[in-house]
Amino acid sequence: MTGANLENCSVSDPISFDDFMKVDVRVGRIVEAEVFPEARKPAYKMRIDFGPDIGIRKTSAQITTHYTPDTLVGKLVMAVVNFPPRQIGPVMSEVLTLGVPDADGNVVLLTPDRDVPIGGRLF
């Protein structure tokens, strides 16, 4: 997960399917990405389009190792869209963009391997 260092965690306690269904993970397309100079660690500010039902949401992510703003724009990503907004410096983050660590602990974004409609929910 971007914004959290979870790669060394053990398997979490079991949850019910109903608990899982409470987490709303959707596919969105990054429409803007720029350097976030006010962040404590290198990061980007992004705007992600989740389609007409959800709209465009803002977020930030520490993903500067593998991505540049130019390579991010147009990319499909997976994000949690129903967490409450969180203030990160001057940015109000409205979604949590999902990723996994590479061998060095740097974030690799979770992305669909095919072009899919934005706004689609993970199931």
pLDDT tens for residues 7-38? 456 888 999 999 999 999 999 999 999 999 99
In 3D, which of 26, 53, 39, 37 has the Cα closest to residue 87? 39
Asked whether residue 38 is domain-assigned, the answer is yes
Asked whether residue 51 is domain-assigned, the answer is yes
SS3 19: helix
Asked whether residue 48 is domain-assigned, the answer is yes
Rama region for 34: left / alpha / beta (φ>0; ψ in -120 to 50; rest)? beta
The count of domains in the chain is: 1
What backbone phi and psi angles, to 5 degrees, belong to 52? -65, -30
pLDDT at 91: 92
pLDDT at 10: 84
pLDDT in tens, 72-120: 999 999 999 999 999 998 999 999 999 999 999 999 999 999 999 999 9
pLDDT in tens, 38-52: 999 999 999 999 999
The CA distance from 76 to 17, in Å, is: 26
Look up the pTM and report it.
0.89
The CATH number that applies at residue 56 is 2.40.50.140
How do beta strands 56-61 and 91-93 pair? unpaired
